[in-house]
Structure 1
Amino acid sequence: MAEGPSPRARQIVAAGRALLEEEGPAGLSMRRVAERVGVRAASLYKHLPDKAALEAAIISQGFAELADAFAAAAGGGEPLAAIGAAYRRFAAGHPHLYRLMTERPLPRELLDPGVEARAAAPLVAAAGGDADLARAAWAFAHGMTILELTGRFPPGADLDAAWRAGVAALSAAGPAPPAGAPGGPSA
């Protein structure tokens, strides 16, 4: 039976997450984490091999939290709208974590096993099992979110209306017909 992270490793990840949330990626250094935990930086490497492992542990936490938020939201009336709202709330509440999770290649080999799939599952279910529609919905949500976080919309833009319009368009698209079905992709 595999053991989970040690209590010290969990403490290190918690300190890293706190620094990230407070100061953004620039504040997340092994030296700063060590100071926060009260150890020398070299001691961190007994528990996590490098900064990439620390970031992956924090990203894994983010995916787990996002999965929980999606699962809670998906039980509502319009699942795509509810999941979109949960996604937007998560990003607004954790903008630095959101950026860490989405602005560069995802270190999948370092993430907790299954955490990315767990986060995606409610969205795929809300898209009627259509992974392509789920990807399109995620791309819409990410684009809206990152533009909102970076202040790229014009002053006075009604972002709630833009979200509603995007979700309505995706909902109207519905799942793609299966391959070989009339109107579906050819094999």
Structure 2
Amino acid sequence: MAILRFRVYWEEDDAVYRDVAIRHTQNFKDLNDIILKAYEFDNKHKATFHRSNDLWQKGREITLEKYDKGYKVDPLLMEETKIGGEIHEPNQKFIFIYDFNKNWTFLVELINVSKEENPKLTYPCMVRTEGIAPSQYGTKGLVGDKLAEVEEKYDLSAVGDGFGEEGEETESSEEEEESGTEEEDTAF
């Protein structure tokens, strides 16, 4: 059974991506679910895939359900469409759009096909994470919990202003300079 590995880039920043592995016999609904899980998004909004080319132009649509909008060609449905049936090139690309109000866009690219299944993994699964994912509904955990940990570790609340005027020297640095010049005079 073929295992397909896709790299899923967040369109806004290609340094942020997730690699997911999925069986070729699984459907686009499974791919939809693992992408949302990999980026820590909920599953409450409309979603669609578009088959794409190397220039990231939208092709045939594969939707979660048929939406009330004009289609040139009836879309395929995610639950009925096997991923392997839509792979036409060695580096097949798809565009994934989630939440049509926010238009979260992800660029999905096939990066590897393997014949060997890893018995330790349950497919579909996320196999690599790179960068900090965008937050679906605004700010996310990095500010909250992590900032509190940093404040506790370094006791940031006890630190004073820490800023002086430019060119201002402290008394201790002036004393060091004076003692340094005396030592230099006695050395001769």
Q: TM (normalized to structure 2)?
A: 0.24
Q: Per chain length, whose mean CA-contact separation is higher, i.e. which structure has more relative contact order (CA < 8 Å, sep 6+)?
A: 2
Work out which of the two has the higher radius of gyration on C-alpha atoms and give 1 or 2.
2
Q: TM (normalized to structure 1)?
A: 0.24
